[in-house]
Amino acid sequence: MALERIQKILAKAGVASRREAERMMIEGRVTVNGRVIEVLGFKADPSKDHIKVDGKRLNLFEPKVILLLNKPRGYLSTVRDPKGRPTIMDLLKNPKWRIYPVGRLDFDAEGLLLLTNDGDLAHLLSHPKFSVPKTYLVKVTGVPEEKKLTRLKKGVALEDGEAKAVSCSLIQEREKNSWVRIVVTEGRNHLVKRMFSAIGHPVLKLKRIEYGPIQLGDLPFGQFRFLTPEEMEKLKKADGR
């Protein structure tokens, strides 16, 4: 095998996303042949070099898995939290694989979250240039008029640039709030909440029900399942280009 950057090797081996792997390196958790490597450009040959994370040797031949979790509110979508708050790992109960989430759902958001040990796939799905559509059901304050939903489809200005919905429709109207179905392709932080705040209808509840071709279905809260081989194939082709 050829020389590759450590963060790429770690992502391929399913340890973490490239970005997370870089953080691990900076934290001094990665060694190559017994030496702590904190330099992000450092390269190694995974077939010859002994690469360890937290003292554990990498397994380059671990089978690739993708899990679908129905995340309840009140859980962080990170592998660990320095403040000790509940994380999705508490729901997965000692997974056999080193899996980590594809993108994030907010602490107070719920629904479909994918987790994988396939670094390349996680990178592909979360990268802004691959626009995978994500569908959310959102409970908002008040009842947005049609022209406001049209504004979301045309694009609203946020502090980090314009954001657009692929589609957006009112599905239930109540006296003081309503439910809207919205599809977006980006994964910027708090994107959907910020979009609805921009049109004057702050989000009260947010649930992701679809990620590309994958649907949450009737999986109970806090439960997870493996994607089927067919779903995995579809997902790999779901980059929206």
Residues annotated as catalytic (active site), given as ranges:
106
Distance in Å, CB of 109 to ligand URA, minimum: 4
Q: Determine, following the binding rule CB under 6 A, whether residue 121 of this chain makes contact with ligand URA.
A: no
Q: Determine, following the binding rule CB under 6 A, whether residue 216 of this chain makes contact with ligand URA.
A: no
Q: Determine, following the binding rule CB under 6 A, whether residue 168 of this chain makes contact with ligand URA.
A: no
Q: Which residues within the stretch 88-107 sit at the binding site for ligand URA (CB under 6 A)? A: 105-106
Burial group, residue 220, by CB count within 10 angstroms (0-12, 13-18, 19+): exposed
Would you say 108 or 146 has its CB closer to ligand URA?
Answer: 108
Q: Determine, following the binding rule CB under 6 A, whether residue 114 of this chain makes contact with ligand URA.
A: no
Distance in Å, CB of 241 to ligand URA, minimum: 22
Q: Which of 190, 205, 234, 236 binds ligand URA (CB under 6 A)?
A: 190
Distance in Å, CB of 157 to ligand URA, minimum: 16
Q: Determine, following the binding rule CB under 6 A, whether residue 125 of this chain makes contact with ligand URA.
A: no
What's the token pair of residue 220?
A: 């109970």
Would you say 148 or 193 has its CB closer to ligand URA?
Answer: 193
Would you say 13 or 140 has its CB closer to ligand URA?
Answer: 140
Would you say 181 or 190 has its CB closer to ligand URA?
Answer: 190
Q: Determine, following the binding rule CB under 6 A, whether residue 32 of this chain makes contact with ligand URA.
A: no
DSSP the chain: ---EEHHHHHHHTTSS-HHHHHHHHHTT-EEETTEE---TT-EE-TTTS-EEETTEE--TTPPP-EEEEEEPTT-BSSS--TT---BHHHHH-S-SS--EESS---TT-EEEEEEES-HHHHHHHHSTTS---EEEEEEEES---HHHHHHHHH-EEETTEEE--SEEEEEEE-SSEEEEEEEE----TTHHHHHHHHTT--EEEEEEEEETTEE-TTPPTT-EEEPPHHHHHHHHT-S--
Q: Determine, following the binding rule CB under 6 A, whether residue 148 of this chain makes contact with ligand URA.
A: no
Q: Which of 24, 109, 214, 216 binds ligand URA (CB under 6 A)?
A: 109
Q: How many CA atoms lie within 13 A of 174 on its CB side?
A: 8
Choices 65-73, 145-153, 185-193, 213-221; region in contact with ligand URA by CB under 6 A: 185-193
Task: List residues binding ligand URA (CB under 6 A).
Answer: 105-106, 109, 190-193, 206
